[in-house]
């Protein structure tokens, strides 16, 4: 069934959109990522104009994250206090990121920068996670090995300490705010929720338990993407409600299923799956940059953008 | 002598000028609804004559042109080991949709000068004024624009697709694709004899969003904040509903 999208001004298959929403929703629920880094390129591929894809995707992430976070609330796997601290950093970061984006746009080549950002960050994070979780799985198979002691590094030497009971942490608020800020900047530039950066940062930088990380990440993604959606709707008029509804119907159902699958899997397995997916998307984007495209020309809307 | 020649010339051309197009459309409005997936428009008409037709065969050319937009055409090049957008040319005015149907092969039916005067063929319908001096081969960019839009069915050259009966009646069908832009679509009909346009007729097909499509589009542009909040509300409500339903069925 073909459906005409009023803002994107293209006609697409409604079931295709529902299916895409569903698949990305499952991944979103499983890994606590918004799914934007997968969905946005997929939308480009089926012919949605990039500006509309990025803005509408932000709206859809709000829905799937909200659906996912409710399931996590029920399981008490959301660290609200940590979420709020991250959010403070995240919103400041997003505001800075939008400014940076505008400056880069003036200079041209913003597309290239976004793509390079994707390749570099997805590559680093995917690679690190993959090898770390491989090591973790190998360790768990040999129970005789002595577990590593928790390191007391820089993170524990900073002032303004706070107790995060759900995560079982007693650390300074500075690292979470910095992590939130950094992710906020990147999220605004790359047009995604930032979960795929946030999740590993919470595990490896803040040392939070994996089970809590996903719910907390979803919790703060809701607010960052809601902020982005409003910004896009009021400045660029590029949020397509019809597209968003189709994606999110699939997305919210997928997120519920994904959350339940995620609970059944082991933390190491979950991380290795996420890392493989991140590496795959990174490889695809890198190949696009490296291989000569069959069509050298591309069309953009007029005006000096 | 010259005056006499001019008079003779007038006499010869008189019967040609006396031919007139009378035309109709199967519809002069296209409504874009939620399940819009393209539309066919039948364009038909007849030639009105005061005197018998000239011996030279008559040809008919029909064009349909969507709203004009500026387009930025970018070209990728190999820089520092990766493919990046290296150069760009802004095409000032290019129709978002353009179809040119003719009763014969367009190249043979129409002379170049007449094409230039009436902007009939696809390259002539696109206007590109200022290519920056830094770009070496500016024509390449307009060619690329035509190539990409032709591949998307947005630019159509339909030779031999106008049916002509007894040098008098004609008809053709233009297939409008699903990804249409809103606005007036100028429709022109040209009568051509010996490569020269003898008469033309112009009308407009209006393409409009209606119903829910119209409402969403208007709200997004007139009340962006309300629209944004409504989008968020729908998202939150859908998320909550899915969660509630799944809890109820205890999956």
Phi, psi angle pair for B233, to nearest 5°: -60, -45
- Choose among B251, B226, B193: nearest CA to B54: B193
Chain B interface test: which of A117, A223, A296 (most B C-beta within 10 Å): A296
Q: Are the beta carbons of B242 and A244 separated by less than 8 Å? A: no
List pLDDT tens digits, range A133-191.
888 778 776 655 444 445 555 556 666 677 777 667 777 778 888 888 888 887 777 76
- Is the residue at B159 inside a domain? yes
Last residue of a domain, one of B208, B228, B243: B208
Q: What is the reported pLDDT for A305? A: 37
| Range name among A94-103, B56-65, B225-234 with the lowest pLDDT average | A94-103
CA atoms of B170 and B163, how far apart (whole Å): 5
- Domain assignment present for residue B13? The answer is no
Q: Which of B73, B85, B231 sits opposite A59 (nearest CB)?
A: B231
Which chain B residue's Cα is nearest to A61?
B235
The predicted-structure confidence for B32-63, as pLDDT tens digits, reads as follows 877 777 788 888 888 888 777 667 788 888 88
Distance from CA of B121 to the nearest CA of A (A): 21
Which residues in chain A have their CB less than 8 angstroms from residue B88's CB?
A: 300
Tokens of B203: 């009308």
Chain A nearest-CA residue for B214? A6
Best-predicted range by mean pLDDT (B49-53, B87-91, B120-124): B120-124
**Cβ neighbours around A6 below 10 Å, total:** 24
| pLDDT attached to residue B249 | 73
Contact between chains at A256 and B243 (C-beta distance less than 8 A): yes
Shortest alpha-carbon distance between residue B178 and chain A (Å): 6
Judge if B133 and B239 occupy the same domain: no
Nearest-Cα distance to chain B for A159, in Å, is: 37
Q: Which residue of A has its CA nearest to B85?
A: A109
State the residue for tokens 């000068």. Answer: B113
Residues in chain B with CB shorter than 8 Å from the CB of A55 are none
| B81 lies in the same domain as B119 | yes
- All residues of chain A having their beta carbon less than 8 Å from the beta carbon of residue B75 are 296-297
Q: How confident is the model at residue A108 (pLDDT cuts 50, 70, 90)?
A: low
**A63·B235 Cβ contact <8 A:** yes
Residue B1 included in any domain: no
Q: What does the DSSP assignment read for B113-163?
A: HHHHHHT-SHHHHSB-----TT-S-HHHHHHHHHHHHHHTTSEEEETT-SE
Same domain? B238 vs B157: no
Collapsed DSSP state (helix, strand, coil) of residue A25? helix
Please tell me whether residues B62 and B185 are part of one structural domain. Answer: yes
Distance (Å) from the alpha carbon of B68 to chain A's nearest alpha carbon: 11
Mean pLDDT in residue range A65-87 = 81
Taking the CB of residue B238, how many other CB atoms lie within 10 A of it? 23
Percent of chain A with pLDDT over 90: 0
Give the mean model confidence (pLDDT) for residues A58-74.
80
Higher-scoring residue by pLDDT: A23, B2: A23
- Examine the domain organization and report whether B99 and B45 are in the same domain: yes
Q: Are residues B197 and B214 in the same domain?
A: no
- Work out the percent of chain A whose per-residue pLDDT is above 70: 85
pLDDT at position A263: 77
If asked whether residues B200 and B230 sit together in one domain, one would say no
Strand, coil or helix: A242: helix
Mutant choice from A224, A233, A240, A260 vs B, greatest count of B C-beta within 10 A: A233
For residue A289, which residues of chain B lie inside 8 Å, CB to CB?
82-84
- Average pLDDT on A89-100 reads 81
Q: Do B34 and A11 touch (CB under 8 A)?
A: no
d(CA A25, CA A34): 8
Q: Are A95 and A225 in contact (CB under 8 A)?
A: no
The ipTM, to two decimals, is 0.72
Q: Is residue B168 part of a domain?
A: yes
B86: which DSSP letter? Answer: E
Considering CB atoms only, which of A10, A234, A253 is closest to B179?
A: A10
SS (H, E, C) A198-234: HHHHHHHHCCCCHHHHHHHHHHHHHHHHHHHHHHHHH
Q: How far apart are CA A285 and CA A291, in angstroms?
A: 10
Whether residues B72 and B97 fall in one domain: yes
Task: Name chain A contacts of B242, Cβ cutoff 8 Å.
Answer: 67, 252-253, 255-256
Whether B134 and B237 map to the same domain: the answer is no
Mutate to test the interface with B, among A1, A2, A3, A4 (most CBs of B within 10 A): A4
pLDDT recorded at residue A233: 79
What does the alpha-carbon distance between residue A55 and residue A226 come to, in Å, rounded to a whole number?
A: 10
| Chain B residues with CB-CB distance to A72 below 8 A | none
Query: Which of B242, B249, B251 to mutate against chain A (most A CBs within 10 Å)?
Result: B242
Which chain B residue has the Cα nearest residue A298? B74
The total number of structural domains in chain B stands at 2
CATH number at residue B26: 2.60.40.3880
- B230/B121 same-domain check: no
Q: Select the residue of B32, B148, B241 nearest A4 (Cβ to Cβ).
A: B32
B251: domain range? 210-251
Is B251 inside any structural domain?
Answer: yes
Question: Residue B89 forms beta bridges with which residues?
Answer: B73
The residue assigned the tokens 């960052």 is A224
| Contact across the interface for B234 and A248, Cβ inside 8 Å | yes
pLDDT of residue A145: 45
- Residue B8 maps to a domain: no
CB A202 within 8 A of CB A218: no
Q: Residue B240 and residue A67: Cβ atoms within 8 Å?
A: yes
Interface of A with B in 232-251 (CB under 8 A): 232-235, 237, 239, 241-242, 244-245, 248-249
Examine the domain organization and report whether B65 and B165 are in the same domain. yes
Q: How many CB pairs under 8 A join A and B?
A: 194
Mean pLDDT of chain A: 77
Using the beta-carbon criterion (under 8 Å), do A302 and B71 form an inter-chain contact?
Answer: yes
Both B62 and B92 in one domain: the answer is: yes
Residue B133, exposed/middle/buried by CB under 10 A (0-12, 13-18, 19+)? exposed
Domain ranges within chain A, ordered by starting residue: 2-142+162-290
Which residues of B are less than 8 Å from A60 in CB distance? 235
């Amino acid at each position: 069934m073909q459906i005409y999208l009023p803002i994107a001004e293209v006609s697409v298959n409604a079931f295709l959109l529902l299916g895409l929403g569903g698949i990305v929703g499952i991944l979103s629920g499983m890994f606590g990522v918004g799914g934007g880094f997968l969905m946005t390129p997929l939308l480009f591929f089926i012919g949605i104009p990039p500006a509309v894809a990025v803005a509408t995707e932000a709206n859809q992430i709000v829905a799937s994250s909200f659906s996912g976070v409710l399931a996590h609330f029920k399981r008490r796997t959301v660290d609200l206090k940590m979420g709020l601290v991250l959010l403070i950093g995240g919103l400041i970061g997003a505001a800075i990121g939008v400014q940076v984006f505008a400056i880069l746009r003036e200079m041209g080549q913003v597309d290239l920068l976004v793509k390079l950002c994707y390749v570099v960050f997805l590559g680093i994070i995917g690679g690190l996670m993959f090898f770390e979780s491989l090591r973790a799985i190998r360790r768990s198979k040999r129970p005789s090995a002595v577990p590593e002691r928790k390191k007391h590094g820089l993170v524990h030497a900073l002032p303004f300490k706070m107790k995060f009971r759900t995560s079982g942490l007693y650390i300074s608020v500075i690292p979470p705010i910095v992590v939130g800020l950094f992710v906020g900047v990147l999220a605004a530039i790359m047009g995604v929720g930032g979960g795929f950066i946030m999740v590993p940062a919470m595990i490896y930088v803040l040392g939070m338990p994996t089970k809590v990380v996903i719910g907390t990440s979803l919790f703060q993604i809701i607010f960052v993407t809601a902020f982005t959606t409003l910004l896009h709707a009021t400045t660029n008029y590029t949020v397509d409600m019809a597209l968003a509804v189709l994606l999110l119907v699939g997305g919210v159902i997928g997120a519920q299923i994904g959350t339940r699958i995620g609970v059944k899997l082991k933390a190491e397995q979950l991380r290795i799956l996420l890392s493989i997916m991140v590496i795959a998307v990174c490889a695809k984007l890198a190949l696009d940059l490296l291989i000569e495209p069959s069509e050298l020309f591309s069309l953009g809307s007029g005006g000096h953008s | 002598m010259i005056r006499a020649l001019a008079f003779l010339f007038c006499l010869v051309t008189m019967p040609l000028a006396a031919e007139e197009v009378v035309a109709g459309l199967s519809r002069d409005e296209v409504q874009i609804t939620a399940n819009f997936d393209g539309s066919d428009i039948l364009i038909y008409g007849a030639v009105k004559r005061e005197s018998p037709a000239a011996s030279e065969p008559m040809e008919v050319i029909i064009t349909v042109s969507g709203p004009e937009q500026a387009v930025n055409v970018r070209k990728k090049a190999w820089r520092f080991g990766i493919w990046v957008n290296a150069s760009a040319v802004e095409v000032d005015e290019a129709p978002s949709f353009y179809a040119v149907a003719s009763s014969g092969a367009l190249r043979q039916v129409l002379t170049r000068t007449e094409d230039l005067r009436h902007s009939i063929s696809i390259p002539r319908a696109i206007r590109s004024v200022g290519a920056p001096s830094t770009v070496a081969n500016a024509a390449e960019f307009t060619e690329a624009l035509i190539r990409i839009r032709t591949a998307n069915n947005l630019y159509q050259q339909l030779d031999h697709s106008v049916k002509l009966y007894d040098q008098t009646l004609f008809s053709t069908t233009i297939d409008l694709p699903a990804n249409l832009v809103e606005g007036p679509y100028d429709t022109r009909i040209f009568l051509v004899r010996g490569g020269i346009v003898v008469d033309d007729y112009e009308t407009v097909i209006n393409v409009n969003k209606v119903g829910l499509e119209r409402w969403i589009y208007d709200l997004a542009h007139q009340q962006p904040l309300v629209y944004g909040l409504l989008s968020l509300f729908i998202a939150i409500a859908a998320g909550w509903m899915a969660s509630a339903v799944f809890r109820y069925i205890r999956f």
